[in-house]
Amino acid sequence: MELEMVRHHQRQAARRRRRLICRHLCRQRRGMARHYCAINATVPVLQRYYGGEDTRPDFRLGREAMQQLMVALKTDRQHGWGPTLETLVFLFWLATGSAYRVVSRVFCMPLSTVQRVVHRMVDEVVAVLPQFVHFPRTQEEIQVVGDGFADLAHHQAFGKAAGAVDGCHIRIKCPGGPDGHDYNNRKLFPSVVLQAVCDHQGRFIDIFVGYPGSVHDARILKNSPIYTRGTYPPPGYFLLADGGYPCLQEPLALITPYKRPVRGMADQRFNYHHSRGRTIIERAFGMMKTRFRCIFLEALEVHVLFVPKVVMACVILHNICVGVGDELEEAVEEDTQPPVELDGGESRSGAAWRAALTNEVSALQEAPVDHDYFSQS
């Protein structure tokens, strides 16, 4: 009984101390601003940003792209550091790939605050994914994409191409546990696979990310929503893919090149035009990797479950930059996997469609064939 009374008095004394401390702080803060976070105007990064200098060296995005991102987020918080500074912290972390400790020193912010800001901003950016990553919504938009691929391929037979699909390995820090070896890809480094479909401008219109690096591109395609739902491309259109995928027509139309050795000039001519149109997806990957070099060309040292969100955020920023014409010189990376057969291999209807395209290419002969291109191994 006495012990309980002693504990009761101790709790009351603790409450009184807390009330006194709160009253003292309230007296000190009378007359101060409502925002309890003060921006350090002497930070060099902020001086360059607010001084009107080029933002690409620090954030890898131009001012127009950054402004469009802030408008899309529509963040209007009346507390904390403010949406502008939090966006700058997030973009600086993406652009440099630095540790949270380094970012906190650059912006003179607490370490724990930087970690919370980065995770909160990633969630907010991913939430606007449908605004920037989506299929063509009208028949006119699809026709524009088809005309763009016809220009890329230098042949009107590819005017029904609605996109190009491929996979990209995102290097990560090797996760622990008994399943960590599943992330080692065929190049023997741990990775997570990003499957993407892009249009003729290199803008991503569909992404699927998260599978371990050891999974083949064709297997990832079979388990992706674009395959299981079969809603894109629309009837009469097809996607371009490399030789690692099977040639299909259902549930989605997928046209691949002829496998080597290529027989006859008609097949060689088809592969030539097909390659010219399909490589836009590799250029899109190259542009994104060049923009966020520290994220994609080095091991991404975050938790493996956080990697897909970071990749989706980079895809959104890439599409914003493509939309405003903010381009960087890309480094094209060819990563063609050996073919794999799924459910009996190539579809007969898909092979027949490819043969029809081959005949059309051979009949029109609108572009010359580079014979040196086919002699390369």
Q: Using one digit for the tens of pLDDT, what is the confidence trace for 156-184?
A: 989 999 999 999 999 998 888 888 888 99
Please report the pLDDT score of residue 74 as a whole number: 79
CA distance 84 to 75: 9
Mean pLDDT on 3-18: 76
How high does pLDDT run on average in the chain?
82
pLDDT of residue 38: 61
Segment of 18-27, 75-84, 115-124, 242-251 carrying the highest mean pLDDT: 115-124
Residue 348 banded pLDDT, cuts 50, 70, 90: low
Residues 6+ apart with CB under 8 A from 70: 83, 84, 87
pLDDT over 50 at 26, yes or no:
yes
Q: Work out the percent of the chain whose per-residue pLDDT is above 90.
A: 49
Sheet holding 191-198, edge to edge: 204-212, 191-198, 161-171, 238-240, 254-255
Task: Name the helix (H) or strand (E) containing 238.
Answer: strand 238-240
Question: Positive or negative CA dihedral for 61, 62, 65, 68?
Answer: positive
Q: How far is CA 360 from the centre of its chain?
A: 35
Residue 361 has pLDDT above 90, yes or no: no
* Predicted pLDDT of residue 37: 57
Per-residue confidence band for 15, with pLDDT thresholds at 50, 70 and 90: confident
For the segment 224-248, the average pLDDT, to the nearest whole number, is: 91
* Contact call for residues 132 and 98 (beta carbons, < 8 A): no
pTM of the model as a whole: 0.79
Separation CA 69–CA 52 (nearest Å): 18
The residue-averaged pLDDT of 306-321 equals 95
pLDDT at 208: 96
Find out whether 346 and 354 touch, Cβ atoms under 8 Å: no
Higher pLDDT among residues 260 and 184, named by residue: 184
116 CB contacts (<8 Å, ≥6 apart)?
A: none
- State the average pLDDT over residues 368-373: 38
Reduce the DSSP state of residue 145 to 3 states and report it: helix
Q: Residue 327: name the closest of 282, 276, 290, 281 by CA.
A: 290
Residue 253, token pair as written in the block: 């139309």
- Which residue, 207, 195, 198, is CA-closest to 337? 195
Q: Which residue has the tokens 């950054």?
A: 66
**Is the pLDDT reported for residue 197 higher than 90?**
yes
Backbone angles phi, psi at 167, to 5 degrees: -115, 155
Confidence at residue 326, expressed as pLDDT on a 0 to 100 scale: 86
Q: Is the pLDDT at 30 greater than 60, yes or no?
A: no
Tokens found for residue 123: 């969630």
Q: Is the model's pLDDT at 338 over the cut of 70?
A: no
Average pLDDT for 327-348 = 55
Instruction: Provide mean pLDDT across the span 80-100.
Output: 88
pLDDT beyond 90 at 367: no
Amino acid at 334: E
**Inter-residue contact 194 to 281 (CB < 8 Å):** no
Amino acid at the residue 114: V
